[in-house]
Amino acid sequence: MSTAATAIENLLSRSRSGKPSPQKERRLAKRHRVDIPAKFKIYLPSQPEQSSTEISAQVIDLSRTGIGLLADSVENGGLHIMHPWAATSEQCLLEIQVLCGKTPLTLQGRAAWYSQHEDEKPFRFRIGIELSDLTVQLKERIRELIDLKPD
């Protein structure tokens, strides 16, 4: 069997097994497991004052460039974390409040992906968020959270 045929057969056998083929890791920084309550709002960059109501969430991983959330919803008030707003085709952004210590950590970002869990408890959706507009102070607070995580 030729090399190309072998490669195709391997690909097809993986597809038939029902297991997804491994994808290239796209994260820019190592994620660290955490367990911190959070909440977020969805908003349009052109209309930040008209955001959704707060959505409860749980931070499950954190890095210097991204955050992983569990949440019960990915849309609220006509805004969806991934789908552009129908009226302007504008991509929504997220304002995330990580509820840690006396002062919550407020981060901005965009949803890079999300998936729905079959088991809806305690949260239905897992969301990967790429952080943006990180100041030196925000980067330091993220580093502190990562350093405080239990091993």
Give the pLDDT confidence of 40-89 residue by residue, as tens digits.
999 998 888 889 999 999 999 999 899 999 999 999 988 899 887 767 77
Q: Is 108 exposed, middle or buried (0-12, 13-18, 19+ CB in 10 A)?
A: middle
- The answer to whether 72 and 123 have CB atoms below 8 angstroms apart is yes
Q: Is 79 exposed, middle or buried (0-12, 13-18, 19+ CB in 10 A)?
A: buried
Residue 71: the pLDDT is 95
- The answer to whether 70 and 29 have CB atoms below 8 angstroms apart is no
Give the pLDDT confidence of 87-131 residue by residue, as tens digits.
777 889 999 999 988 889 999 999 999 999 877 677 899 999 999
pTM for this predicted structure: 0.75
- The amino acid sitting at 14 is R
